[in-house]
Amino acid sequence: MSKKVKNKGWIVTFSGTGINLALGILYTWSIFKGAIKQSIEAGGVGAFNWNLASLNDPYAVCCLVFAFVMILAGKCQDKFGPRLTAFVGGILVGLGFIWISQTTSYVAWILGFGVLAGAGIGFGYSAATPPALKWFPPVKTGLIAGLVVSGFGLASVYIAPVSQYLVNVWSLQSTMLFFGVAFVIAVCALSMLLVNPPTGYVPKGVAKASKAVSSMTAQGDASPSTMMKTRTFYTIWFIYFIGAGAGLMVISSVAGMAKKSMGDLAFLAVAILAIGNAAGRIIAGVISDKIGRRATLIIMLTFQAILMLIAILVVGAEQSSALLLVLLATFIGFNYGTNLSLFPSLTKDNWGLKNFGINYGIVFTAWGAGGFVMGRLSQMLFAKYGNYTSSFLTACALLIVGVILTLTLKTHKTKAVTRKKKAA
């Protein structure tokens, strides 16, 4: 019986990873943005007719809707389970992409990609991590969260080249139709494998925990209202806003940044950044299980701030090096990816699993707000100055603020709990 339960935990984990491998198309926006820009510049019948300063708007709205829908989706996940929640997500994403495949209208893309697909991603993403975490002991929280969300980051490894190929061979609209149909099939099918453990289930490695540990875990199951009354919540929220916003700013424009040095192979920068993004989620999860979330977060934010300064030299160079650009994108993606495993782990550590879906949904609004603000700001600054220097400087300053705020967070007692379990 224990073997069957253990196997189900890994099935749930990798099913969630698979769902995120589809939903992570969000990170390929820079490929679609490039195709829209080319269409605007070419003009003619059926061409996109948008303001260049608005190119990131569907992406920015998608990030915002994705994040805020996570609250509703998290509540749905907590109440009705992950299977139904993810299924709804697959339907919404598919409908959004099918709609925009039929039009070049700015408003339709805002509603189709930004609102419908954004809401669908929110439902699917919110249902992937909670059931997986419930099958494993706290000592594996970072690892499991990292594995599930790594799919979202890794998606561009295959979606970027596939998108570039399909856009060149077919058209942007036909590519959107292809992805719309594919997402409905893939996400809805995998959603059937997402199940919570049975009532009273205790993960292996927790059964011998002391009463003190069990009591501490129960007290950690905070309601959303209780969570939002704490100073820790607002500190974590703003740090997430900074860490996510800085990374999403680069991700939304990486293909454009790489165009000068890589030409038609710019999509490779997106795909390689995705590898760093996925690796950051898994590696940060494992490291944070050992040295703590706060220490890992400080390292990540500091490294990201340094990379933003380096980016000014690499991206703004007269003859930019393709190799340096790819390495830069990989490391920025890596640091950004750490956010997506550290913050769900921080949420679980501080406020428990009982209301994890809605609690993390509320915390996740920081991701959406960061992506919306920094994505929009980056495009506006580029349209005004013709370079990304101002964007990188702004991100660097905010990341330093994030490091300072992280230093104020209290170190959680998860590590001590783990030792007690091992000693039991």
In whole angstroms, how far apart are CA 399 and each of 246, 336, 361, 405?
A: 8, 11, 23, 10
pLDDT over threshold 60, residue 177: yes
Residue 229 phi/psi, 5-degree rounding, is -90, -5
Q: Where are the domains of the chain?
A: 12-197+216-221+228-418
- How is residue 114 annotated by DSSP? I
Token reading at 198 = 């049975």
Mean pLDDT (the chain) is 87
Task: State the pLDDT at residue 424.
Answer: 38
Which one, of 20, 10, 336, 348, lies nearest residue 152 by Cα?
20
Which one, of 217, 12, 289, lies nearest residue 127 by Cα?
12
Task: Assign 396 a pLDDT band (cuts: 50, 70, 90).
Answer: very high
pLDDT over threshold 90, residue 143: yes
Vertex 302: Cα angle to 301 and 307 (nearest 5): 95
Which of 81-85, 251-255, 329-333 has the weakest average pLDDT?
251-255
Assign domain 12-197+216-221+228-418 one CATH number from 3.40.50.720, 1.20.1250.20, 3.40.718.10, 3.30.110.30: 1.20.1250.20
Task: Assign 236 a pLDDT band (cuts: 50, 70, 90).
Answer: very high
Query: pLDDT by residue (tens digit) across 99-120?
Result: 999 999 999 999 999 999 999 9
- Residue that wins the pLDDT comparison between 76 and 208: 76
Asked if 51 and 88 count as a contact pair (C-beta separation under 8 A), the reply is no
Task: State the pLDDT at residue 214.
Answer: 40
Mean predicted confidence (pLDDT) in 243-266: 78
Task: Assign 208 a pLDDT band (cuts: 50, 70, 90).
Answer: very low
The percentage of the chain sitting over the pLDDT mark of 70, rounded to a whole number, equals 91
Asked if 43 and 224 count as a contact pair (C-beta separation under 8 A), the reply is no
Give start and end residues of each alpha helix (H) in 81-171: 82-100, 106-109, 118-134, 141-169
Task: State the pLDDT at residue 32.
Answer: 94
pLDDT over threshold 50, residue 230: yes
Give start and end residues of each alpha helix (H) in 263-292: 267-291
